[in-house]
Each structure stands twice: as structure tokens, then as C-alpha cells.
A and B are shown apart, each in its own frame.
Chain A
Amino acid sequence: MTNHFVDMKNADVIFIMGSNFAENHPVGFHWVLEAVEKNGATLIHVDPRFTRTSSVAHKHIHVRSGSDIAFLGGMINYIIENDLYDKFYVANYTTAALIVSDDYKFEDGLFSGYDDATRGYKNESWQYKTDKEKKALKDPSLQDPRCVFQVLKQHYSRYSLDKVSAITGVSKDDLIYAFKTMGSTGTPDRSGFFAYAMGWTQSSTGVQKIRTGAMIQLLLGNIGLPGGGVNALRGHANVQGATDMAVLYHDLPGYLGMPAPDHKDLATYLDKTTAKAGYWVNKPNFTVSQLKAWFGDAATKANDFGYDWLPKMKGDHSFQQAFVDMNQGKIKGAIFPGQNPAVGGPNTTLMMNALSKLDWLVVKDFFVHETADFWQAPGMDPSKIGTEVFFLPAATVVEKSGSLTNSGRWIQWHFKSIDPPNKDVVSDLDFAIDLGKRLQKLYEGSTAEKDKPVLAMTLNYGDDPDKFPENVLKEINGYAITDIVKDGKVLVKAGEQVPSFVVLKNDGSTACGNWLYSGAFPKEGVNNTARREREKPGEGIGANLKWAFSWPVNRRILYNRTSADLDGRPRSDRKKVIWWDAEAELPDGKKGKWVGVDVPDFKGDLPPGTPKLKDGPFKGIGGNDPFIMNTEGCGRLFAANLKDGPIPEFYEPFESPTENAICPVQNSPVAKVYKTPENILGKADKFPFVLTTYRLTEHHLSGVMSRNLPWLAELMPELFVEISLDLAKELGLANGESCTVETARGKVRAKACVTDRLKPMTINGKKVHQVGMPWHYGFKGIATGDTVNTLVASIGDPNVFIQESKGFLCNVRKGV
């Protein structure tokens, strides 16, 4: 999130789309109700189904699953046409005025630079038009037909109310209601909060859906304000932490980016991947400090700080690709700590086939789940499977200390409450450290190049496992290796924790596991993530600066410089966050700094109006450039760095009941359709209904933790499929009756949940039925059921390869 949970209470409009907030974040949802109760906020829920979130919303709008960009594009069009955008904000804090390259065009559903052969775009034509000094040209009046604002306006002019209504199935009245209500937050004294989740992400155009949301918030001037922002509701207690620490293959902790094979040395990697302006110019400090944290004394200037020991990203090694590779016998073994791909992975048949090709499999979890027992799944023949499976029991959250990072970037520490039941039950951290040390012992004395990174790893977390978590956090925070000196004074002594990433260096004198988390443990014995002091009522805007630690440097609302005008004055009293105080004293005696109710997301002593700095950590950022991480200093309405286009365009899901009505290209021309026998796509003649998959409050992800818990199993004991009254009549299905749901990939048995909360829709003139299923079930546990991912195809968004598990085609029929 750019904002955070508590901040929701400041919103005037809460727009929940691609999310079932109340059911999946019941505790966080309390802040939504605060906004409604105490701030008079309007709550809108746009969802294919009427859910428990809808039951407390002022308005629920049924939308066809998969049609989000049409809806949001329509909102952009409406906002621009009806002058609802924040003119000052758009002109000054976004890239609206920049001129796009003369070579940029969008025609017949394709952006310039498309290469059929590679199914990819070259993005040279998506850059800005520059002058001789390579500086981007701009038109501050926003009139030039080639400026970003006009390009946007032109692009979304096709997204008329009529067109959008036909594509999404939403009535024009409801569209106007939604657009007008959200559009009402385009004034500086009102803010709207976008909350989204898997409904936006799990799609072949997932990233672009989120982009559209971000662009709307830039147009409305909502980014950087309390109760505003673009806010992902993460689907697991620590998935934000997992993302920050780069559990995904393509990244390094702190979003530093995995090197590619042509980044042949550290200097090349840093040169090619470090921005030339904006705060990311400091990346080398973060990268080298990270290498020092990992490899300690073995990382020296002479060996590029161990850069060669990092794996180089040759291509797509995402989850789906890994299973395709596994299925082709390319992966010999796997370790799954806290993961259950046999239920949670898209295209279960592929998951099962792939697992059975492994030589060995280690599963570490609380219960022996479907992946650990994949070889005994219904339909599997153990005599044909050669995989040796090891099951390692895992300690639960109360049996270990550690931090959890929530959707609002708050890193919150929890303390160990009880010991695990016996010595075999081990935390994932203890396992990882133990494994690392055993490998080091195994490779002891080896001179082979490939063994060097393992031998060089620092695993110095002491001898007491109960102290491991804290010691790891301390390494993540960072420490000085040699004295850090500034202006002749020792800022940080050798061996001491660093106060934040501002003191990190690229010369090997500092170590830091993740620059974003720096400040979490700034001094010996000071664990900021364990703080629990609440803001006093009436004091502040809910930032709760003394509760835990948020990244970066405890900032709660990102981009908060936008809350002030070009003179540093709050644009609105009700939405003020930081402002310039010319008289405020700095530690060095000088005067003038940004003050307010949150940590400024800005250079603290940079006066408003200052021209862009020529060098230093804020190179290229001026006193009125709130988006300090962007080279432009402004929020991007046009983004050259995405794989599928600088601005979002609506494409139909790969399995769709209709033809794309907005442009002649049916599906995303760059999304990945994985080549594997299990990945069969279906058409509407055999599979006429649109299926969306979702989660329930009572179950958690693949059900390992919830379907094994009696009190949750009894609440939601069986797999069901929600179908409308109309469809039930057509199919002759009674409520509770057994039925089969099938796609081109496979079929599952479910009970019919006949409900008026789902409705048939009219899409491009044709009646289309939507159905929905929770995806939690598997063959093990107390509450069992068929695995809904059997129905899902192996398709990936081109930027991040997330699967399209919403808005695909199925058939439903009586009987099993």
C-alpha cells in the first residue's frame, strides 16, 4: 500500500474493487467502518459477486469478472471529460506535461514497437521526446496533442459509457454513480482510497489493472494524502515481508533487482540498473551493503564484493515456469516451506505431474498436506512415482519470535510464547540456518567456484536459536563495519547498528540486508518493530509513528509531499500531512525543514521551489518533486518500463465469452501462455459461463491451516459453486445439489449454492452467466473437497507471470 490500514479512517470514499475486503481482512476492515462512521465516507464495492463486503457497502456494483480495465478506463475518461481531475496536482506532480516520442503510437490494439516473432514490445518509442541535452520536453499548459495528458485523453476517449457498459455488464447509471463518487475526491480537501487484491492481480493484464488504478489516483490527486493512495490488500500475514525480502526469483531484497547474464560484473550491473536521477541513484550503496551482509569478510573490493556469486536471471523462472520445467524433468528436487502447490498452484494436473517427476521433495509445514502426500492424491498411481518425500514439521507463529510485515508496510514484531512440542518441530529460520551450516560443513575445503558462495555465506547469528530472529533483523537493519565518519565526527562506531540507509556506503564499509528495513533496529537493544505505543485520540491522523516500524524510515503515507503546494503550504487543512516550516531548526543550526504528522517522504531540509539538485543522494529532485523514487520526480501517467504498454488497454481474458469490443486485438499480445500438455484452453461454445475464484473468511489459502482446524472446518465444510437463481433454473439445479464444474483443463465436484447474490449479465448484447468458487479445498484434512485450481489455465501476466484465475470459462452441470 502507499497508505496503510489505520489511514483508511481518513477517506471520504472507499472504493473496493478486485477485492473482498471484509471477508479476507476482517480485522483491517474495521478501519473502513471507522471511515464510514466517523468520516462520513461512502463505501463502494465493485465485484462480480455480492459478498459480505457488499452487505455493509453503500453500493454494490456487479461487474463482469475480467473486465476491470474497461471499467477503470471508463472512469479515466469520465474524470477527464467532466473535469473532475485535480488540475494543480496533475500539472505539477505528475508527468502529464511531458511530451512523448514522435514514434509513439497506438493503433488497432497494439502499441508501437510490437514484435510478432517474440510476442514482445521494444519500448524505445515509449520514451519521452527530448531536447539536445537529453532533457524531456514539456508543455505545462497540457494542450500539446503529444503531451502525456492529451495522449491519455485521446486513448481513453474510446471508453465511453455505452462501450464500457456493454463490455462490463454494468448499467450506465451505476457507472456514473461509481465514476462520479470516486471523481468527487478530485478536490484537494477530499481523498478516495482504492483497495484492491486478487481480483485485479490474478489476470493476464493484472499489472495494467493496477496501473489504471494508480493513474486514476494521480489524476484525482489522491496519492500522498490521508485516506488516499493505491492499496493492495495482501493475502497473507507476511507476504509483504516475503516480497520485500525478495522470495520471488526476479528480485533481491529491497527491490534491487536480480542481475542478468549480460551484467558481467558489479560495475556493469550497477551502471545498467541504477537510475540517473531520483533517490534510486543510491542503489550502489544498498547493493554493496547487501553483499557485505551476505558474504561478510569474503566480500571485498577485489572480488566485486562477491557479485559473481549471485545467480544471474536468464529468463522466466517464476512459479508457473518452474513447474513447467519440473514437469520436463529439469528440476531434480524441491523444498517447499509453507507452500502447498498441489492445491494452491494453477492447473493442478500440471502441479501433480510435475511433482511426480521430482527425485526428491522436502515439505516443511504444520500438517501433512496435499503436496506432501501428492503421490496419494486421488487418481495418482504411487507405483509409477519415484519421488522421495521428506516431511519436516514446522514451528507455528507462537512458537517463535519474528516480524510480520502487513499490507501497510508496518513491520510488527511478535515474541515467542511457547516452545514447539518437541525438538523435531523447528522454525523455518532455524531450518535455513541449520541447512546453511550443514552445507558449509559438507563443502568445507572445496575450491570449486560453485561452492564458494555457500562457503562465503555469513551465518553468524550466535549460538542461541531463540536469539536468531533478532540477530537476523539486526543484520537486515545494517551495521557499520568500520567507523562511519561525517564532517570529522564519528556517526556510527564500527560494529554498531546504523540508524537508517542514509549512512550506507558502496565501498564495503557498511553491511545491510535490506535497505528498506534499515531503521527497524537502529541501536543495540532497540527493536523498533516491537514498539506498541498508540497515537492519542485527536492527535494526528492515525500515523501511529511509535507503533512498530514502517518502511522506509517509518514513513506511513508515501509521497506525502503532494499534500503541500509549491510553497510548501498544506493544500487543505483536513488533508495536510507535511508542510514547510522555514523557522524550524536543524541539528546543524541551520533553519528550514519539512514538518507534520508523518515522516516527510522528501529531503527533510530541501525548501519548496528549489531547482532540481545536480548531485548528491537526491540528484535530479527539486523542491517540488514529490515522487523522489522516479527519475522524473513526478507520478507517472505514462510508463515505459512495463512489458505490455505505457498505458493500460483493455484486452479480454484468454478464455472469454465475447469479442473484445474496444480494439481488434482479443487478448494481451504479450501475456504468456505456457506450453505444456496440461494447458488446454477452452471456448465459449463448450464452456459458456464466466468463472471467478475467491477466498472465504473461514479458510486460508490452500486450506492447510484452516481445513485442519475443527472450528473452521465445521463452518465451511464443503466445496460449493455460487450460481444465480436464473442459471440454477436453466440447469435444473436445486440449492445444495451436487454438480460438476468443468473447464478445458479438468473438472471438480461441488454443491450448488443458488443465490441472488450472483446475477446474469448482458455483455456486448449477449446474456452471460457468472459463477464463483472458493479455491481452498484439497483431499486432505478435516474439511476436504476437490481442488478448484484443476480448472485454472497456465497463463501468466507478461510482467510478473501471475496466473489468470479470475474471469475464465467453465461449464456447470447436474450430477457428478
Chain B
Amino acid sequence: MNLAVDLAPHHKQQLQLRNPVMTGSGTFSNGIELAKHFEIDALGAVVSKGTTLRTRRGNSTPRTIETPSGMINAIGFQNIGVGALMRNIAPTWARWNVPAIVNVMGESVEEYGILAKRLDGVDGVSAIELNVSCPNVDVGGLEFGQDPKTAAEVVSEAIRNTSLPLLVKLTPSITDIRPVVEAVTNAGAHAITVANTIPALAIDIEKRQAEIANGFGGLSGPAIRPITLRLVWQAASVTSLPIVASGGIANGKDAIEFLMAGATAVQVGTANFLDPRAPWRVLEELTDWCKTHEIQDVREIIGVAHHVD
């Protein structure tokens, strides 16, 4: 049975994944911790913590709150910065056989270009995921992804500065995701990640204030899965680029749903917090399902649900 998928068929180096199960940015740190406990090379790809040009301490605490079948977070991009990532983390990635994708967030269109340039040709870095959808920063993030023109500018700026395959991670916080999908497709992105967390709020009624210090945060977990699934479906209907699904995937059945909606790969995110082995378990369950259903090639099921559109 073939589980391999290509996330960048239009890129000269391609981005071959051994299977469609990836980790989601911000839910796996930089992979180093869990690679000590589980076989990292068994996964399709690993996506880094959101990385910025300069190191960031992140937001004040509390940064998270549990909600029904989900959680809201506003971590605020606590990260070591791109330089330290290249110096301290990338050499470890270079020893792995699993592709490592660096999720980057800029405060301006130009910063995405600088980040792309810094990562170009770095041993251990297989691709870049442009985060134009983080709800938890004052400058940039989400607003870049809500405007098709700006999102396309971010992609163009990154392409000018790197030869690496580029994924673009879009926001679900938008009236219609399709114009943004079309814009980043036309700008030359190689794959599209759908989607990020959904802007949300929880209030502590005894303290009469927001549960998290930042006020708003991003909702993730099984609670958002049906919303993400629809967005993946919509995105798949307007682009031929591979779509990477991200939002509430916790088991093999969820992964198959997303593949059937048109995703080429899936990112396991919040599920990692309640089971550090979640990505590996999702892969096992996906593989078992394919075996039981006599699937020869996992690509057979990508987008199959669309015939009832």
C-alpha cells in the first residue's frame, strides 16, 4: 500500500512525504522533545513552532483555557527566533529522515522575505509554512491572511527570497476563504494549509474578566473540526494545489474525513497535548482503515467526497 504524498508537485525539488500525517505548528515545539520518545522518522513531516525574526517571550499568563471539546490559546509566538532555530535546531533536523517545515510569522511583508532568505539552503529545513493567520499578535499575523492581495504579496515576497517549497497557512476567520486560496495559488504557493485557530473568547465570571491574559485567543481542538472540514472542501474546489488540513484532527477517522474533503495531508495539533503519541496513533489508524478498505494508494481517497457536491 502506498501512503506517500507530494506537497509540492509544482516545485522542482518536490516535497515528498512518506505518509500524509504531519504535526501542526505550535503543538509539537520543534519536535526535539518528542523525538526522544517516539520514532520521528515514521511521520510524514514535522512543522516547527511559529518562528519570528527576533526571539519572543510570548504573552503573559494565563495563556490557555479549556472549552467544550477544545481550548483557546494565546501563547503569543514565544520562540527562540530564526537565528537560534538555524543554529541549534536545524542540525538535529538534518539528521532526521522526516522533512522539517519551518512555520514563520512576519510583522510586515518584508519580514516574510527576510525570514525566507535566512532559511534558504539551511541544512535540515525542507520547506517553509508562511503563517498569515495567527490571531495572537499585535502586528501582522491574521490580517495578512484576511486580504487576498496582502496574502499574495507575502507569498511573492517569500518566493523571491527562497528556493524552498512554500506552504501558506490561512485563517478560518474570513467570510469566504476561496478568494484567498485563489490569490495565493496564483502567487505561486506550493501548498495551502487550511486552517489556523478560530479567534475566540472565554470569560471567568467570578473574576469578571477574560480567562486568558491576552483577552482573545484562538480556538482549537475537536470543537472546530467540522468548520475546518468545510473550509478544506471549499479550498479544494478552487485550487489544484495540495491542501494540508489542520483543525481538530484527533484520530484516523478524522484524517480520512479530511482526505475525502480534498486534503492531501493532515496536521495533528491540539490532540498532541492530550496524547504525545497522537500523530503516530493517527497514522496507525489511517493505515489500518486503508488496509481494511483495500486501498492500494492513499491518494485514491483524496477529494472523493466531492462527487456529491
Do chains A and B stick together as partners? no
